[in-house]
């Protein structure tokens, strides 16, 4: 119902100099064919459509976020918007560049997501990937639907609309979730009772509570605005 493992080789990244993200004067560059004006996004709001891959019927959210939101804070927004618990690793992939939290033990190149405002790395029309939990491998396709004209105004972090609940953590990714829904819908299945107990009494795959979700997102918006447009320290808003 709608309401208003290891990293594959295709994800290996190129290097990225964070100092080029916010130059003193606006200038343009290209990333995967998209023209990006580096500082023109300041004061703009981006509308993003985010959809989980390989799930039918689709689980999706439409979000409004400030263009200067860095990818680490977008991670927090996505965790809240979908209902994940931030219990696993994550990364972003855009035009061959992999963004995430640097780890000295990570053998692959990784650009620090804390130095990458969304508006500096994704133009209108761009599509990029957010991956959460390398075991279950939840992949979210993010489309930049629109970017408003820059201007004064309050920070907006909001879920405008979406459909369906988030899958339970650690259910086995899209194939495991499909099997879980099948078992829950069949009282005669030998695993029905155990699976019903495992997901909990309140689980409803079709339910999305936008009011509850947006209360949590507003906390992120307020902290981001108070923190000199930085939301470092935002972790669990549950």
Strands, E, within the chain: which ranges? 2-3, 28-31, 34-37, 45-52, 60-66, 90-94, 97-100, 111-112, 127-132, 138-147, 158-163
DSSP state of 230: -
What is the band of 40 on the pLDDT scale with cuts at 50, 70, 90? low
Residue % of the chain over a pLDDT of 90 = 65
CATH no. for 2-165+212-226: 3.10.290.30
For residue 201, name the pLDDT band (cuts at 50, 70, 90).
confident
Domain layout of the chain by residue ranges = 2-165+212-226, 167-205
Is 87 within 8 Å of 181 (Cβ atoms)? Answer: no
Instruction: Select the highest-mean-pLDDT range: 19-23, 27-31, 185-189, 231-235.
Output: 185-189
Give the tens place of pLDDT for each residue, 124-141: 999 999 999 999 999 999
> Comparing 36 with 183, which gets the higher pLDDT?
183
Contacts of 20 (CB under 8 A, 6+ apart): 29, 38
């Amino acid at each position: 119902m709608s309401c208003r493992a290891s990293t594959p080789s295709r994800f290996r990244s190129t290097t990225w100099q964070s100092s080029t993200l916010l130059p003193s004067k606006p200038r343009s560059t290209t990333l995967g064919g998209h023209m990006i004006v580096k500082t023109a996004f300041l004061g703009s709001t981006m509308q993003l459509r985010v959809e989980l891959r390989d799930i039918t019927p689709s689980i999706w959210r439409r979000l409004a976020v400030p263009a200067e939101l860095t990818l680490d804070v977008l991670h927090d927004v996505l965790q809240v918007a979908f209902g994940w618990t931030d219990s696993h690793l994550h990364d972003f992939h855009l035009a061959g560049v992999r963004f995430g939290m640097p780890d000295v033990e990570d053998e692959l190149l990784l650009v620090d997501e804390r130095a990458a405002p969304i508006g500096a790395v994704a133009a209108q029309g761009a599509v990029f990937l957010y991956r959460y939990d390398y075991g279950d491998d939840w992949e979210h396709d993010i489309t930049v639907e629109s970017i408003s004209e820059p201007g004064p105004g309050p920070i907006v972090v909001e879920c405008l609309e979406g459909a369906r609940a988030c899958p339970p953590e650690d259910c086995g990714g899209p194939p495991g979730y499909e099997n879980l829904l099948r078992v829950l819908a069949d009282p005669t299945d030998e695993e029905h009772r155990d699976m019903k107990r495992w997901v909990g009494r309140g689980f409803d795959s079709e339910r999305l509570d936008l009011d509850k979700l947006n209360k949590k997102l507003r906390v992120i918006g307020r902290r981001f605005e108070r923190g000199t447009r930085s939301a470092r320290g935002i972790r669990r808003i549950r």
